[in-house]
């Protein structure tokens, strides 16, 4: 098979949904998942497709020149869908360097090797960089991020992603690399590592542990079901215009406190608890340093130009997500290893 597509970070949360979708929808393409398997990468996310004929897994680090070089020698890639990243804001606050290495250096290593492999003949090639709405900074009570909103990242995570976006655009402008970028809002759904708000809260509620809410819980996020994001990524990979950026969002803004209250109601219902039991677990803790107030996305460009829309009603998506975590306790148990306990203690004890 010569039609190989490289997906980086395919063992992570969003990447695993993208890999599954591409493997199942495109049997004529060889899907190569390249992932370092950091704490966030989990081969268990992909057990259902591991034996498919058009799937390969390659373990490696995107910032490691030698490994990436052998990868591009081994396969003839028609495209790259680049998701590998350090992705958690709180970890970027305590350890920024790993974010610089993976998110910035790793992206440039991939750009260089794709460029060399394609020998400057870019026809029918695509380097697709997956980014976040956090590069635009923080909104006040009104307004939406559009593709033209100036970059104003505030955390080491968002600054590293912004830097990688700039580099990807620089390769388009300087070398004519066939790139496309998308910036998406907060994803939720199955397989998300329980350092992020929703899976962490679901796990704590299940175990009757406090739900830590930063500050007053008034920060606002726009939430999109992960399968809808994977659908948008597939659409952009095949139909996005080179050199363009597409914002992806759910038109679905929630304050953290309202979101967690809704989650508590759903969990009481699913776990057959007295109404109000889970809400009693809500605990306000010290705010995140530099906590962005509000993210909200204008996704009219992708709707108008590529016909993509979010498909799932939020409450339905949240119920589906809760069901997945409750039915996959084995997955959660394997993730909650000693490392996670150590992380949780450092991040939340005495907060
Ligand atoms: P994740 O942390 O769940 O997964 C990241 C994956 O990348 C893991 O499998 C990890 O092993 C791999 N990885 C990390 N460093 C690597 C390296 N040096 N070399 C190779 N692989 C490496 O992240 P996610 O939430 O699935 O996010 C995926 C992408 O989408 C990221 O680029 C992120 O910035 C972006 N994004 C995420 C969200 C969200 O809400 N989670 C929203 C918008 C954009
Ligand atoms: P998170 O899932 O870390 O995503 P991001 O910071 O990329 O938006 O956090 C979502 C929101 O929830 C954010 O405003 C921070 C807040 N939050 C808490 O209140 N408590 C927590 O324990 C976590 C992890 C996040």
Mind listing the pLDDT tens digit for each residue in 134-148?
Answer: 999 999 999 999 999
- Write the CB contacts of 177 (distance below 8 Å, at least 6 apart in sequence): 111, 114, 115, 122, 127, 168, 171
* Residue of 112, 314, 304 whose CA lies nearest to 198: 314
Q: Which atom of ligand 1 is nearest to the CA of 63?
A: 18
The two structure tokens encoding residue 274: 């007295």
- Write the CB contacts of 230 (distance below 8 Å, at least 6 apart in sequence): 14, 17, 18, 20, 21
Q: Which atom of ligand 2 is nearest to the CA of 134?
A: 7
String of DSSP letters for 177-208? --EEEEEE-EEESTT--TTSHHHHHHHHHHTT
Tell me the whole-structure pTM to 2 decimals: 0.98
Is 157 part of the annotated catalytic residue set?
yes
Ligand 1 proximal residues by C-beta, below 6 Å: 8-9, 11-15, 35-38, 40-41, 61-63, 83-87, 102, 106, 130, 132, 161, 184, 186-187, 193
Pick the CATH number of 4-188+222-248 from 3.20.20.80, 3.40.50.720, 3.40.605.10, 3.40.50.2000: 3.40.50.720
Ligand 2, atom 17, residue with closest C-alpha = 197
Give me the catalytic one of 90, 133, 227, 231.
133
* Residue of 80, 56, 90, 10 whose CA lies nearest to 346: 90
- Cross-sheet strand order for the sheet of 253-255: 186-188, 220-225, 253-255
User: Which ligand has its closest atom nearest to the C-alpha of 91?
Assistant: 2
- In this prediction, residue 124 carries a pLDDT of 94
Q: For the chain, which ranges sit under pLDDT 50?
A: none
Distance 71 CA to ligand 2 centre (A): 35
Ligand 2, atom 3, residue with closest C-alpha = 196
- In this prediction, residue 2 carries a pLDDT of 60
Contacts 24+ apart (CB under 8 A), 41-46: 41/9, 41/11, 41/12, 42/11, 42/12, 42/16, 42/191, 42/193, 42/331, 42/334, 42/335, 43/11, 44/331, 44/334, 45/11, 45/12, 45/13, 45/16, 45/191, 46/10, 46/11, 46/16, 46/19, 46/20
DSSP H helices, the chain, are 13-25, 65-74, 89-94, 96-99, 106-117, 156-175, 197-206, 226-239, 256-270, 300-306, 314-327, 329-335, 338-348
Q: Element (H or E) spanning 100, and its range?
A: none
Pick the CATH number of 197-220+255-288+315-345 from 3.90.25.10, 3.10.20.600, 3.90.79.10, 3.30.1370.60: 3.90.25.10
Question: d(Cα 99, Cα 157) in Å, to the nearest integer?
Answer: 6
Residue 200 CB–ligand 2 contact under 6 Å: yes
Distance 197 CA to ligand 2 centre (A): 5
Residue 223 CB–ligand 2 contact under 6 Å: no
Is 279 part of the annotated catalytic residue set?
no
Distance 335 CA to ligand 1 centre (A): 16
Question: d(Cα 145, Cα 25) in Å, to the nearest integer?
Answer: 31
Tell how strand 220-225 and strand 186-188 pair up: parallel
- In this prediction, residue 107 carries a pLDDT of 99
Residue 212 CB–ligand 2 contact under 6 Å: yes
**C-alpha of 53 from chain center:** 26
* Residue of 34, 113, 32 whose CA lies nearest to 69: 113
The two structure tokens encoding residue 56: 């390969």
| Residue boundaries of the structural domains of the chain | 4-188+222-248, 197-220+255-288+315-345
Ligand 2, atom 25, residue with closest C-alpha = 197
Residue 114 CB–ligand 2 contact under 6 Å: no
Distance 247 CA to ligand 2 centre (A): 21
Is 133 part of the annotated catalytic residue set?
yes
């Amino acid at each position: 098979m010569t039609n190989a597509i490289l997906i980086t970070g395919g063992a992570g949360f969003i990447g695993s949904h993208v890999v599954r979708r591409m493997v199942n929808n495109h049997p004529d393409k060889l899907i190569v998942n390249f992932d370092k398997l950091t704490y966030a990468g989990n081969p268990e996310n992909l057990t259902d497709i591991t034996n498919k004929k058009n799937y390969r897994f390659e373990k490696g680090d995107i910032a490691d020149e030698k490994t990436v070089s052998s990868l591009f020698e081994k396969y003839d890639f028609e495209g790259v869908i680049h998701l590998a990243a350090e992705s958690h804001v709180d970890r970027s606050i305590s350890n920024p360097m790993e974010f610089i290495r993976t998110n910035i250096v790793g992206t440039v290593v991939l750009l260089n090797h794709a460029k060399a492999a394609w020998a400057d003949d870019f026809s029918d090639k695509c380097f697709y960089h997956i980014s976040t709405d956090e590069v635009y900074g923080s909104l006040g009570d009104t307004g939406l991020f559009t593709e033209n909103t100036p970059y104003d990242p505030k955390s080491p995570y968002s600054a590293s992603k912004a830097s990688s976006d700039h580099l990807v655009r620089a390769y388009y402008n300087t070398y004519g690399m066939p790139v496309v970028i998308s910036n998406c809002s907060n994803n939720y759904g199955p397989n998300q590592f329980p350092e992020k708000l929703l899976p962490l809260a679901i796990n704590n509620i299940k175990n009757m542990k406090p739900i830590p809410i930063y500050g007053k819980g008034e920060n606002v996020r726009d939430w999109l079901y992960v399968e809808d994001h994977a659908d948008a990524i597939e659409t952009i990979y095949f139909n996005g215009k080179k050199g363009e950026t597409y914002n992806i969002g759910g038109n679905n803004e929630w304050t953290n406190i309202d979101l967690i209250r809704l989650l508590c109601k759903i969990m009481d219902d699913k776990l057959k608890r007295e109404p109000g039991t889970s809400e009693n677990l809500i605990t306000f803790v010290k705010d995140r340093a530099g906590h962005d107030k509000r993210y909200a996305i204008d996704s009219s460009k992708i709707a108008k130009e590529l016909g993509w829309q979010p498909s799932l009603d939020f409450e339905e998506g949240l119920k589906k997500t809760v069901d997945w975590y409750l039915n996959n306790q084995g997955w959660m148990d394997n993730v909650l290893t000693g490392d996670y306990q150590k992380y949780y203690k450092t991040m939340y004890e005495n907060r």
